[in-house]
Structure 1
Amino acid sequence: MIMPRTASISLLLLLATLPGFAKDSSDAGLHAALKAQADAWDVAIVKKDKQAIAKNMSDTFFQIGSDGSTADKAQFLQNLTSPDLVIEPYTVEDFKIRLYGNTALINGRTDMHGTYQGKPFRSHYRYTDTYVKEGSVWRVVNVQTTRIAE
């Protein structure tokens, strides 16, 4: 009985040294950093801080909206910072981060309120933000939203 148990322990130790098998202790730190970055981006969006919004985005940024519309970085920035749009502070629920090397998928659920051209709106949706590490900086390259029916 000792041999199979020793072999099992040896196999687990070997597997733990392979990339992707064991959780890297830096994952917790990276999760916290990405969460803070995503939170700061949300604040910048509410404040219409165009520079802070853009700084978090890759030049190759692409958005797919709940209605199937698309926008590149310039269009996204223009839409968010339009004087017609006022977004009230909102919270994100069901926040999750999944790491795949230099790519991070961030998912959540948002219930957003505000006004557009003076008319109130409510947009309840799930989203996926895809971040990619560009050099030493993580930037969002893709955003996709799915509207949740009221």
Structure 2
Amino acid sequence: MIEIERKFLVNSNDFKEHATHNERIVQGFLNTDPDRTVRVRIKGDSGFLTVKGKSNKEGTTRFEWENKITVTEAEQLLILCEKGIIDKTRFLVPVGNHLYEVDEFYGDNLGLTIAEIELSAENERFIKPDWLGDEVTGDIKYYNSQLGKKPFKTW
């Protein structure tokens, strides 16, 4: 239940050539307190409720709990969410022994593309493909919970 991940900006669409799958995601937040966020997500034909704890100092590690719910339940919960529903397509891109999840955002976050990689240890080595840009791990403005409040188009 501990998540270790790093986030990067994406500097080109070259990742799409290597993507093995993509799926539309719509999500909102019932709570965006930095100490705990509660997310509602519809991904494909499934719904999810996720609770995330506060990130460590580096922004790489935090508690995460997720439970599958029905799409109908997720749709009802999305109505209760804070302002700023996130709409994006997630591309799964294998690189070496890892899988990057690359999110291409729409709506008020159009133009923003972020890649995340989950690791088994904070110091784990991984390959950084050419399409990977600057690291933004720990920069709160790139958290999905904040992109609803202060979207990319307002920066």
Q: Fold match, TM over 0.5? A: no
Structure with greater proportional helix content: 1
Indicate the structure (1 or 2) with the bigger Cα radius of gyration.
1
**TM-score, normalised relative to structure 1:** 0.31
Structure with greater proportional strand content: 2
